C-alpha cells in the first residue's frame, strides 16, 4: 500500500471515498481505512493531502468565481459548487465529509 501513496493522493483529490480507492487499487478496504484512521501513517497523510488540495481548489474557484472551474459531485445530493452561480456550496462539502466519516467509522 505504501508503494501506492501517489495513487491514493490522486484518487483522494478526486474526492473518492476509501472503499472506492481500495477497489481501484485492488487492496482491502478495511486495511486502507485503518491506515487512513492512523493519523501518523503516510497513507493517512497522502489521503488527506489529496482531499485538502481539492478543497483548496474548490474554495479558490468559489472565491474567484471561475465558472470554467466548476466541480460537481454527481453522487451527492448537494453539489459542492453550484453550476449556475459558480458559488461554493458548503452543504455539498459537508455531505462528502459526512459520508467519509461514516465510512471511516463503520
Question: Per-residue pLDDT tens for 61-89?
Answer: 655 554 444 444 334 445 554 544 445 45
Q: What is the pLDDT of residue 90?
A: 61
Kindly list the distances between the CA atom of residue 36 and the CA atoms of 4, 29, 47, 50, in Å, as whole numbers in the listed order. Answer: 13, 10, 7, 12
The mean per-residue pLDDT over the stretch 43-59 comes to 86
Give Cβ neighbours of residue 29 (< 8 Å, ≥ 6 apart). Answer: 18, 19, 22, 23
| Grid cell at residue 62 | 468559489
Kindly list the distances between the CA atom of residue 85 and the CA atoms of 16, 39, 89, 95, in Å, as whole numbers in the listed order. Answer: 24, 37, 10, 20
Domain count, the chain: 1
Q: What is the pLDDT of residue 68?
A: 45
Task: Note down the domain range covering 101.
Answer: 2-105
Amino acid at each position: 500500500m505504501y508503494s501506492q501513496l501517489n495513487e491514493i493522493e490522486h484518487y483522494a483529490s478526486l474526492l473518492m471515498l476509501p472503499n472506492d480507492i481500495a477497489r481501484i487499487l485492488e487492496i482491502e478496504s478495511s486495511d486502507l481505512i485503518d491506515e487512513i484512521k492512523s493519523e501518523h501513517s503516510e497513507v493517512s497523510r497522502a489521503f488527506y493531502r489529496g482531499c485538502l488540495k481539492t478543497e483548496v481548489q474548490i474554495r479558490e474557484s468559489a472565491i474567484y468565481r471561475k465558472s470554467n472551474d466548476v466541480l460537481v459531485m454527481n453522487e451527492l445530493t448537494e453539489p459542492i459548487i453550484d453550476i449556475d452561480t459558480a458559488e461554493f456550496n458548503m452543504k455539498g462539502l459537508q455531505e462528502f465529509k459526512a459520508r467519509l466519516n461514516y465510512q471511516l467509522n463503520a
